[in-house]
Structures are given as C-alpha cells and as structure tokens.
C-alpha cells in the first residue's frame, strides 16, 4: 500500500492547477540584434544508437531510406528546419581519424569506441555519409576536429579534403571517392572538451595548441572557416578568461561552453528520466535555470577582451542528463523524454534568445536516441519527443529581430525554496509578425499575464501550447502522440495590451500580426 501511494505522488503532483498568480510584461521595440537560427542547432555523436540504428540503418533494412539514411528521421528534422548538425562528437571526435571513414565501406578499418560502451565502430558512416545527411536536411555541417589524439597534419588535410577546389593529393582522393566539387564546410571545431575527454589539458596549453592547429586549418577560396575553440565546462570561468586572453578575438569565430542539467546535481546518480516527485522536479528546474547565470558570467569575461562581441559563445552541448533507462547499455546514454524535458528545452532556448548578442550558436545533445533526444526509434517505429515539439514551436524565432522584455516573474515555491516560475523571449520576423514564447515551470499554478507592447502594432493573436496532465508524462511507441502541440486560446487583445492565461507546466508560443 505504501509503494502505491508513493507511485501516485510521483505521477500526479502536477494535476491540481487551480491557483493563479499575476504579472506584467513590457516588450520593447526591436533592436539590430538578431536571434541566430544557429541557436537551434543539434548534435549527433557516434554514441549508442544516435548514428547507428538512428540516422543510419542496416544495408538490407526494410525501413525506408536513401543510401542507408533513414527517411522518416530526415523528414521530421526538416520540418523543424534544423540549421546545423555537429559531428562526429563529443568525446568520440578526439579519437576519430577521418581517413578511416572514407573510401569503399568494405575496406574501411574497424575501431573500438572507447568512450561509449566499448563497441566496435565499423566506420560505415563517415565524412561523405555525414555531408550527404546534411544535404538531405538542408543544414550546415559543424565538424569537430581531432586535437586530442590527432595531428595538425591530419586536421589540415581534412579541411583540404572538404574545401579545396584545386589540384592536390587530398582533392584527388576526394574525387576518387565520388565527390568532384568540395563541400565548403564553414563551421570547424578545433577539439572538444579539451579540459576533459579531449586531452585533460590546462587552458594555457590548449590555447597554444589551438593557435597551432587553427593556423594550418586553412581558408580556401570560397570556403572561409568559422573556427570554434574548445571552451569551458560549466562554471570554469578561468578557462574562458585564458582562451580569450591567449587566443585573441581575431583568431576564432566562436568559443564553446558545455552545461548539462542534472536532476540531482550529482554525476554518479543523476536521477530518473520518468520517476520523480515534486522536490526532484523543482531541483531539476533550479539546475536548468543556472544556465542564465553561467552564460551571463562567461559573456562578461568575453566582453573584457572582445567588447564588439565578434566572438560567438557557442553552447554546443546542453540538455538534461539523467540515468539511462533500466535495462539499457549504460554507455549508450538512452533516456526517455518527458514534459519536464520540454520545459527545460523551452526555458533554455529562451535564455539563449535573450543572450543572442553573444550566444549565436548552440547544439542540443543529442538528436536521436541519446540524452535529451528529439527522436526515439525502435526498429521501424519512430516517435517525436516533447522536446521535438518545443523546437517546432520555437522555429519562428530563427533569424528574427530580438525584442527585449522587462518583467518580474512570480515565484514557484517548494518548501522554503523558490525559483522564477515564468521565463519569456520574443522576436519580430521579416514580415513584422511578433512571436512570444512563454514557459510556466510551476506545475500547480497558472499565471495571468498582462503585456504592454508599446508602439508595436498588431491586430490579431493566435497561439500553440505544449502541456500534459503530469510533468512525468512521456510519448511511447504505443502512444506516440500523448504530448503534442495544440491550439492555444488563452490569449486575447485588450486595447493595445495582450492578456494571457498561461496554464501550469506549459510552453506557449504566440503570434501577433
């Protein structure tokens, strides 16, 4: 009996959304600041079932595919207008040697993926396959080069293979492998997590190494590189300071930042993806909101050395990281995806939008079957997670003008602790339409919002909402549409003000025309 009561408390703490709090928003006129589409980027590593059994199917698979690239996954990602895709890692990038993944597949050497499960990597998915995937997705490739176990020559020749349209040994090999013209890849990561799995380096050592590697990663005609330095882990502000000081703003397009939301805050026991009570939910959201402070502090350090904000802060790994699903390979990082994860996605993207003067690229970890995935697959079955639906809602912000917002959030309180219940971002697209994304983290209380839009002109408001009865709710292969976007009718015009009744535990995107 006791176990049954605990189970009910885990599942139903968000069902009683009767109370209401109030706040006012003041949306400012647009500035020249743009919410870059690249904030909505994604990440696909050779990890678990992301590439193999995710994007890439068996040679004789009956699942609809083009050259082994799974078409239902491609179609779903095209719908949300994926702007860029990061590959081959992650930690895998710094043990990946690109020449093992080109040429006839039956002649490619096999290797052991020492970072993720110790499984055999057959290298059937390599450079040509990845760039064909990007072509099918109509997105820009973002390649992470091997600094940890690779050489300057290896990286330089990879760039040449990708981008040089002339006569050279690398272009001859590329043409032999079926690609006459170069792909002209711009986004180029110089290492990954060089403070950890990418080499356990000091920031001083990495800064010097970056300058060397970046020197030989050449700009070829029509293909200037956007070189991205391997930046800090979470709150390692010294790393950012050292890189900005020693590398210099003129030698890099971007500097990375990695931060994951851990429900418990503990890497050893991170917490369940689906079974959690309100206190655990609250702590997860508190950890998610730390992204605001972390981005703000790293950006302030970058401002010291780069006051014109030429260097992008590239948050190329973010998302919730939980314990793996019971019974799955712990090295494959397969986790379910609940309404809680959708609220994390909406909140984090609002933070990035509001810092789009510095955050100009980000990559959710990861796209298929790994960590906070957009898509889960099981043989021929595929489902879209609640997180996918948030990206579908938020695509309206891509490359739109940023609209600053002033407001005071109501509190979401559990015991003696409290966090901001509400987070918001807004933009205006090229047609003049205004989009406002709102997230209510409070699982029990709705929020009544009165919004002033100043001199911004509009006549109508429509909206969509993502919510469910419980924050623990998930989409499953037997019920793949339990959580999905729906029409929202809780917003109306009152004079030139906008009034919104924002339900508990919800993500809402409004369009004003």
Report the helix count and the strand count for the chain, using DSSP H and E. Answer: 10, 28
Q: Is the dihedral of CA 408, 414, 416, 417 positive or negative?
A: negative
Q: Give the Å distances, CA to CA, from 371 to 108, 116, 166, 334, 347.
A: 29, 13, 41, 6, 17
Q: Report d(CA 30, CA 349) in Å as an integer.
A: 19
What is the per-residue DSSP string for 21-41? EEEEEEEPPP-S-EE-GGGGE
Active-site residue (options: 193, 221, 235, 241): 193
Active-site residue (options: 22, 279, 317, 501): 317
Active site residue 204: no
- Alpha-carbon dihedral 358, 253, 288, 405, rounded to 10 degrees: 20
Exposure pattern of 74-113 as b/e (b: 16+ CB <10 Å)? bebbeebbbbbbbbbbbbbbbbbebbebbbebeebeebeb
Rounded to the nearest 10 degrees, what angle do helices 237-246 and 278-305 cross at? 20
Active site residue 95: no
Three-class secondary structure assignment of 126-138:
CHHHHHHHHHHHC
Q: Is the dihedral of CA 305, 310, 311, 314 positive or negative?
A: positive
Catalytic residue IDs: 193, 317
């Amino acid at each position: 009996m006791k176990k049954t009561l605990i189970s009910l408390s885990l599942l139903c703490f968000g069902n009683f959304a009767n109370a209401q709090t109030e706040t006012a928003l003041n949306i400012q006129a647009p500035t020249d600041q743009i919410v870059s589409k690249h904030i909505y980027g994604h990440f696909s590593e050779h990890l678990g079932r992301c590439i193999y059994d995710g994007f890439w199917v068996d040679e004789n698979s009956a699942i609809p595919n083009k050259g082994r690239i799974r078409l239902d996954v491609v179609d779903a990602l095209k719908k949300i207008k994926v702007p860029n895709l990061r590959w081959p890692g992650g930690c895998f990038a710094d043990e990946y040697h690109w020449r093992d993944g080109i040429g006839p597949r039956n002649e490619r050497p096999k290797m052991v993926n020492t970072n993720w499960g110790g499984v055999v990597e057959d290298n059937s998915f390599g450079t040509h396959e990845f760039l064909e995937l990007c072509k099918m997705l109509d997105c820009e490739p973002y390649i992470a080069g091997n600094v940890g176990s690779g050489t300057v020559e290896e990286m330089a020749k990879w760039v040449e293979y990708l981008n040089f349209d002339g006569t050279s040994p690398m272009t001859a090999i590329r043409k032999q492998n079926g690609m006459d013209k170069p792909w002209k890849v711009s986004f180029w990561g110089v290492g990954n997590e060089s403070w950890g799995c990418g080499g356990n380096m000091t920031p001083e050592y990495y800064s010097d190494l970056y300058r060397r590697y970046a020197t030989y990663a050449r700009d070829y005609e029509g293909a200037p590189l956007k070189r991205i330095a391997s930046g800090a882990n979470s709150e390692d502000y010294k790393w950012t300071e050292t890189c900005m000081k020693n590398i210099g703003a003129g030698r890099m397009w971007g500097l990375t930042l990695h931060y994951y939301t851990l429900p418990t805050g503990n890497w050893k026991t991170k917490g369940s993806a689906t079974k959690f009570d309100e206190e655990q939910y609250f702590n997860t959201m508190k950890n998610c909101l730390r992204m605001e402070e972390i981005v703000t502090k790293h950006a302030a350090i970058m401002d010291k050395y780069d006051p014109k904000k030429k260097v992008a802060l590239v948050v190329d790994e973010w998302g919730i990281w939980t314990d793996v699903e019971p019974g799955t390979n712990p090295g494959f990082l397969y986790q379910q995806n609940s309404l809680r994860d959708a609220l994390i996605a909406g909140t984090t993207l609002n933070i990035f939008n509001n810092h789009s003067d510095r955050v100009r690229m980000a990559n959710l970890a990861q796209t298929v079957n790994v960590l906070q995935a957009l898509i889960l697959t099981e043989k021929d079955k595929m489902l879209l997670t609640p997180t996918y639906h948030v990206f579908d809602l938020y695509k309206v912000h891509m490359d739109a003008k940023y609209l600053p917002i002033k407001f005071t959030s109501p509190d979401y309180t559990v015991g003696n602790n409290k966090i901001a219940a509400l987070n918001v971002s807004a933009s205006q697209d090229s047609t003049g339409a205004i989009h406002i994304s709102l997230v209510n983290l409070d699982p029990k209380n709705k929020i009544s919002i009165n919004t002033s839009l100043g001199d911004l002109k509009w006549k109508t408001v429509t909206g969509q909402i993502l919510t469910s009865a419980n924050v623990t709710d998930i989409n499953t292969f037997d019920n793949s549409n339990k959580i999905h976007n729906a029409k929202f009718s809780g917003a109306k015009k009152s004079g030139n003000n906008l009034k919104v009744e924002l339900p508990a535990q919800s993500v809402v995107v409004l369009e004003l025309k």
